[in-house]
């Protein structure tokens, strides 16, 4: 069988034997053949990458400004070559009107896209606006600069760091062609004509670092012919047609012609032909090897571009772990005894928040920075990652809170630290924003504690990014709009009101979109303000609110409760901002548009005829959406160990659903990926926040949890076992500081009930026993044993408060195993049931009540809401969170009681009915015996507040 030698072998066989005297015939170095060999090799390498990492392909982006025909031709060649090799290539074309800033923004987006490994900015930049080409090319990330044009790559090449940079494609192709000749570069005399940064300068450096003696010639070189005559290797890139004459060339030299020039030729249909910088016919007679034009260096430039892209992808894969973040964690310096939260917080230097955002896969364009430690995340990230499967969804709850505290948020953060920093899993914690009430009241902030807390402590406890203030302002705006409506309607005629609502502007009136929607609801199918009748004008301008049925209070956050005169006969009732329906809407919205619709549906009053009045009727819904357009973006901070935390919204858990926002969870689930974990805090205990997490939040978000974590403490269980009452700030009775197994075992009956409550939703439950210094091994073993016998998937003791994430590693492992179990998630009740039936089912299943008593006012509301079409909303029970019964002092598992329903509120915008259990008080700003604000002061030198924790 005849064997055909490879092209490289043929070249070697035809190589000249010497550099002087008699020589072999000139060999034409075909760039077409060599580039084909390169592309075939790259194709095999890409196939190997895809086999090792299924679904992976090198990514290339060509960014073009304008629409030049020559640029389009070059780009089509690059895209075709990429497709043949298996590279995922995309062409981004910006219009000629693009500004430099827009070009830089596009480059920044591609720089941060992990799916792109090579970025080419097609030159020239064809824009009508001024462009700094150097600035634009240097904006490309050096690790993606497959053209090798950035100053960083050029600098590395000039100092010989060839293995740590990208080499410009044309010089790189030239070196490949020289290698095909079999001629060793080392020790040869090389001449480069031209000193551009695209060809000449990098060609000089490449030859130099491959040990040639190099001379660079240019327009000022004296006796160019003599210099060329010395060259054993000649590379020409001057851009001048046939400037190098054949008689100049040293016999047997390697001649690489990089020129592409057009000269007149009447024999060609186009009237011109392409030639290089070397006079090819005469040079071929003297050279040992020579590249033709076309068909020489040109095809190699594209091939080397593909080579650089594949090499970039290989470098990416060296650090790449499928589905894993490239994140740096911080190891805290744990002290014993554990210092105060403020001392610990200030001892830790957080990572720049922009760095953390990048580590978890956020683009810089998706993040609004608030200094170095806080950021807001834009909602567009959900759309970008919509094809990414969600991660594992973990809900953290606790036994009913006691004055001793169960450490629910501390456990949320400690578990996230354990999963991330210690088990090498992508993990994000999602928690509620602390309200100002606790910060200035008794608790003194709420961002975890010990070595499982989020930072920056003071900034988040005080203002964060102003979300609560935005809700407060929005709530006050609604109250002001109601008050203005009452005052103006009592003082002015229909026509005067119409002139206010639809004023003349340049002799014309025009309805706003909100007003057009109101007209449609009134059945008035008109769009021209001049065509309304007097009767239609009256219906349009008058809401006729009954001041005795106003369902809205102004929002405050630290103010004492009460009423204040407005200067007229109407009064205003104050309520805390976190109890506002606006906060619940912010937390339950799935998008900006969803929030806008929910805000418009809020019922804020009733007309004298008994019809509901919404914010849309008031004409204020659009303004509310504008006030909240930034507040809807989740806030990104971090734990002491550098684990990402979303802290967003703070609806109360006793009268609202008490969970961080849907959007924070949705973004987090996309960012962590299918093998990662989102650890979401739920407010209060399993009978309050967890139930509302499932039956309200999951109902509206469409998300389905994998695991529930139930936090318990020995102290809290002893209290539920009929231990003596405790008071915050006072020494604990000995029953809590000494081993008492009988008292603890009685209290574990309550733990059993809460495990059953959590398991009722069809997902595995892991009990986290948050340990204290006074707990004994026997007590902790007893709790774990009884928790598992009650049906918990597992029960683990945790020491994350004292040790950080290291103290919750076993809990993290248990959660990881539980998440692999099959989940049969289900809601507690069917929302289509009649209102009274839902309340009854809820009370029996969650609280263990024998029945409910729906008192007269509540019964009236049942009938009213059913008539208005609100009957299919879920239930958000408003009762004391301190016990399963309606008695705050109740302990353990009550039996044989009737739960009295005193009233029923409704939040149409948020989307739930709120049965009010008798003895429950609507939260208002409290007045504790001794508040933390007495201990808070500002150090004017350090700008830090005093340590009141």
Cα angle value 846/852/855 (rounded, 5°): 135
The H or E element containing residue 857 is: helix 856-868
- Nearest of 494, 565, 486 to residue 536 by alpha carbon: 494
* CB burial readout 90-116, b (16+ within 10 A) else e: ebbebeeebebeebeebbbbbbbbeeb
Query: How many Cβ atoms from other residues are within 10 Å of residue 500's Cβ?
Result: 12
The number of angstroms, rounded, from the C-alpha of 86 to the middle of its chain's C-alpha atoms is 30
Please tell me whether residue 792 adopts helix, strand or coil conformation: coil
- Nearest of 211, 336, 176 to residue 799 by alpha carbon: 336
What pLDDT does 43 receive? 96
**What Å distances lie between residue 589 and 583, 628, 659, CA to CA?**
10, 12, 12
What pLDDT does 896 receive? 86
- Nearest of 56, 173, 71, 67 to residue 115 by alpha carbon: 56
Question: What does the radius of gyration of the chain's CA atoms come to, in whole angstroms?
Answer: 37
Q: Which of 78, 284, 670, 692 is catalytic?
A: 78
Report the percent of the chain where pLDDT is more than 90: 71
Rounded-to-10 torsion of CA 423, 426, 427, 428: 160
Rounded-to-integer distance, Cα 417 and Cα 640, Å: 9
Q: Which residues contact 855 (CB under 8 A, 6 or more apart)?
A: 900, 901, 902, 903, 918
Task: Name residue 605's beta-bridge partners.
Answer: 613
Residue for token pair 């049969």: 824
State the pTM of this model.
0.83
Q: Which residues contact 611 (CB under 8 A, 6 or more apart)?
A: none
Q: Which residues contact 418 (CB under 8 A, 6 or more apart)?
A: 800, 805, 806, 807, 808, 809, 811, 812
Q: Which two tokens stand for residue 691?
A: 């139930």
**E strand residue ranges, 632-703:** 635-639, 644-647, 677-681
Please tell me whether residue 255 adopts helix, strand or coil conformation: strand
Active site residue 520: no
17-20 long-range Cβ contacts below 8 angstroms, 24+ apart = 18/252, 19/232, 19/250, 19/251, 19/252, 19/253, 20/251, 20/252
- Nearest of 395, 405, 396 to residue 882 by alpha carbon: 405
770, with CB counted inside 10 A (0-12, 13-18, 19+), is buried
- The predicted-structure confidence for 77-136, as pLDDT tens digits, reads as follows 999 999 999 999 999 999 999 999 999 999 998 998 889 999 999 999 999 999 999 999
Rounded-to-integer distance, Cα 512 and Cα 710, Å: 51
What pLDDT does 937 receive? 55
Sheet holding 88-94: strands in order across? 88-94, 59-65, 118-121
Rounded-to-integer distance, Cα 84 and Cα 72, Å: 18
Task: Name residue 914's beta-bridge partners.
Answer: 905
Residues of the chain with pLDDT under 50: 1-23, 439-444, 556-574, 920-934, 948-949
455, with CB counted inside 10 A (0-12, 13-18, 19+), is buried
Please tell me whether residue 795 adopts helix, strand or coil conformation: strand
Rounded-to-integer distance, Cα 241 and Cα 276, Å: 6
Query: How many Cβ atoms from other residues are within 10 Å of residue 612's Cβ?
Result: 19
Asked whether the beta carbons of 394 and 678 are under 8 A apart, the reply is: yes
Q: Which two tokens stand for residue 599?
A: 């805000």
Sheet holding 898-907: strands in order across? 851-854, 898-907, 912-917
Q: Which residues contact 446 (CB under 8 A, 6 or more apart)?
A: 409, 434, 435, 438, 439, 461
Q: Which two tokens stand for residue 908?
A: 């149409």
Rounded-to-integer distance, Cα 366 and Cα 870, Å: 38
3-state secondary structure 727-780: CCCCCCCHHHHCCCHHHHHHHHHHHHHHHHHHHCCCCCEEEEEECCCCCCHHHH
Task: Name residue 614's beta-bridge partners.
Answer: 603
Rounded-to-integer distance, Cα 646 and Cα 650, Å: 12
- Nearest of 322, 427, 550 to residue 805 by alpha carbon: 427
664, with CB counted inside 10 A (0-12, 13-18, 19+), is buried
SS3 content of the chain, % helix, strand, coil (to 5): 40, 15, 40
Rounded-to-integer distance, Cα 629 and Cα 529, Å: 30
Is it true that the peptide bond before 124 is cis, omega within 30 degrees of 0? yes
DSSP 830-853: -TTS-HHHHHHHHIIIII--SEEE
Rounded-to-integer distance, Cα 397 and Cα 722, Å: 22
Rounded-to-integer distance, Cα 787 and Cα 61, Å: 55
The number of angstroms, rounded, from the C-alpha of 426 to the middle of its chain's C-alpha atoms is 13
Rounded-to-integer distance, Cα 258 and Cα 202, Å: 13
Q: Which two tokens stand for residue 430?
A: 């999602």
What backbone torsions phi and psi does residue 382 show, to the nearest 5 degrees? -65, -45
The H or E element containing residue 797 is: strand 794-798
Please provide the size of the chain in residues.
949
Task: Name residue 537's beta-bridge partners.
Answer: none
What pLDDT does 738 receive? 93
What pLDDT does 940 receive? 54
The H or E element containing residue 468 is: helix 467-491
Helix 31-52 × helix 297-319 angle, to 10°: 20
Q: Which residues contact 494 (CB under 8 A, 6 or more apart)?
A: 534, 537, 538, 541, 542
């Amino acid at each position: 069988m005849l064997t055909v030698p490879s092209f490289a072998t043929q070249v070697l066989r035809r190589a000249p034997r010497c550099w002087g005297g008699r020589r072999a015939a000139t060999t034409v170095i075909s760039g077409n053949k060599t580039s084909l060999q390169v592309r075939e090799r790259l194709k095999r390498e890409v196939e190997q990458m895809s086999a090792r990492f299924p679904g992976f392909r090198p990514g290339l982006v060509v960014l073009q400004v304008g629409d030049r025909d020559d640029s389009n031709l070059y780009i089509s060649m690059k895209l075709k070559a990429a497709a043949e090799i298996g590279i995922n290539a995309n062409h981004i074309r910006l219009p000629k009107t693009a500004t430099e800033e827009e070009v830089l923004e596009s480059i920044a987006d591609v720089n941060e896209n992990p799916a792109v490994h090579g970025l080419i900015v097609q030159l020239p930049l064809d824009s009508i606006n001024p462009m700094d080409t150097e600035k634009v090319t240097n904006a490309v990330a050096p690790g993606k600069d497959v053209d090798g044009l950035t100053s960083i790559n050029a600098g590395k090449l000039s100092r010989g760091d060839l293995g740590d940079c990208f080499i410009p494609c044309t010089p790189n192709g030239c070196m490949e062609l020289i290698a095909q000749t079999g001629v060793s570069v080392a020790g040869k005399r090389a001449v480069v004509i031209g000193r551009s940064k695209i060809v000449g300068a990098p060609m000089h450096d490449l030859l130099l670092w491959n040990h040639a003696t190099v001379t660079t010639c240019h327009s000022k070189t004296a006796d160019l012919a003599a210099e060329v005559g010395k060259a054993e290797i000649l590379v020409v890139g001057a851009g001048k047609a046939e400037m190098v004459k054949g008689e100049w060339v040293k016999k047997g030299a390697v001649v690489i012609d990089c020129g592409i020039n057009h000269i007149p030729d009447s024999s060609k249909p186009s009237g011109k032909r392409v030639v290089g910088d070397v006079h090819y016919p005469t040079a071929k007679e003297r050279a040992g090897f020579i590249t033709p034009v076309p068909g020489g260096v040109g095809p190699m430039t594209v091939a080397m571009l593909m080579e650089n892209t594949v090499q970039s992808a290989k470098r990416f894969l060296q650090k790449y772990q499928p589905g894993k973040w490239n994140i740096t964690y911080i190891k805290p310096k744990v002290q014993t005894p554990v210092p105060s939260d403020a001392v610990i917080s200030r001892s830790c230097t957080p990572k720049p928040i922009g760095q953390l955002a990048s580590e978890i896969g956020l683009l810089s364009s998706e993040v609004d920075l608030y200094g170095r430690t806080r950021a807001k995340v834009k909602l567009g990230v959900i759309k970008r990652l919509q094809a990414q499967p969600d991660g594992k969804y973990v809900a953290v709850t606790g036994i009913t809170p006691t004055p001793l505290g169960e450490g629910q948020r501390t456990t949320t953060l400690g578990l996230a630290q354990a999963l991330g920093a210690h088990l090498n899993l992508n993990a994000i914690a999602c928690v509620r924003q602390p309200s100002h009430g606790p910060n200035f009241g008794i608790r003194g902030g709420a961002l975890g504690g010990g070595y499982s807390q989020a930072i920056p402590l003071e900034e988040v406890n005080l203002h964060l990014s102003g979300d609560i203030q935005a809700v407060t302002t929005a709530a006050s705006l609604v109250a002001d709009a109601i008050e203005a409506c009452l005052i103006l309607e009592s003082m002015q005629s229909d026509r005067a009101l119409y002139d206010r609502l639809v004023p003349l502007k340049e002799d014309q009136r025009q309805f706003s979109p909100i007003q057009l929607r109101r007209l449609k609801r009134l059945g008035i199918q008109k769009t021209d303000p001049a065509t309304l009748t007097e009767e239609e004008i009256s219906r349009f301008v008058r809401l006729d609110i009954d001041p005795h049925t106003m369902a809205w209070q102004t929002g405050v956050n630290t103010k004492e409760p009460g009423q204040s005169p407005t200067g007229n006969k109407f009064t205003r009732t104050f309520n805390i901002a976190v109890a506002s329906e606006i906060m619940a809407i912010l937390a339950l919205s799935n998008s900006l548009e969803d929030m806008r619709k929910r805000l418009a549906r809020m019922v804020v009053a009733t007309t004298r005829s008994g019809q509901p009045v919404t914010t849309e009727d008031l004409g204020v819904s659009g303004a509310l959406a504008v006030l909240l357009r930034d507040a809807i973006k989740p806030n990104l901070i971090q734990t002491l160990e550098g684990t990402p935390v979303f802290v967003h919204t703070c609806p109360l858990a006793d009268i609202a659903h008490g969970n961080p926002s849907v959007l924070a969870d949705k973004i987090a689930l996309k960012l962590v990926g299918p093998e990662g974990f989102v650890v979401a805090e739920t407010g209060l205990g399993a009978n309050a926040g967890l139930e509302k997490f499932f039956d309200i939040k999951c109902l509206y978000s469409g998300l389905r949890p994998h695991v529930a974590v139930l936090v318990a403490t020995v102290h809290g269980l002893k209290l539920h076992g009929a231990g003596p009452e405790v008071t915050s700030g006072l020494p604990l009775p000995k029953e809590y500081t000494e081993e008492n197994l009988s008292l603890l075992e009685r209290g574990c009956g309550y733990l059993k009930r809460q495990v059953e409550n959590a398991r009722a939703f069809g997902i595995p439950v892991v009990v986290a026993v948050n340990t204290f210094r006074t707990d004994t091994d026997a007590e902790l073993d007893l709790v774990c044993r009884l928790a598992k016998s009650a049906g918990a998937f597992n029960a683990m003791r945790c020491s994350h408060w004292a040790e950080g994430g290291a103290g919750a590693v076993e809990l993290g492992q248990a959660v990881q195993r539980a998440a692999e179990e099959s989940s049969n998630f289900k809601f507690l009740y069917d929302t289509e049931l009649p209102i009274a039936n839902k309340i009854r089912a809820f009370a029996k299943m969650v609280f263990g009540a024998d029945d409910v008593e729906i008192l007269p006012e509540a019964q009236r509301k049942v009938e009213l809401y059913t008539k208005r079409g609100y009957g299919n909303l879920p239930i958000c029970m408003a009762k004391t969170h301190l016990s399963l019964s309606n008695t705050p002092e109740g302990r353990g598992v009550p039996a044989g009681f009737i739960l009295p329903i005193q009233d029923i509120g409704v939040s149409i915008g948020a989307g739930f009915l709120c049965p009010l259990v008798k003895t429950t008080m609507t939260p208002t700003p409290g007045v504790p015996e001794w508040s933390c604000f007495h201990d808070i002061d500002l150090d004017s030198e350090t700008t830090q507040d005093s340590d009141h924790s």
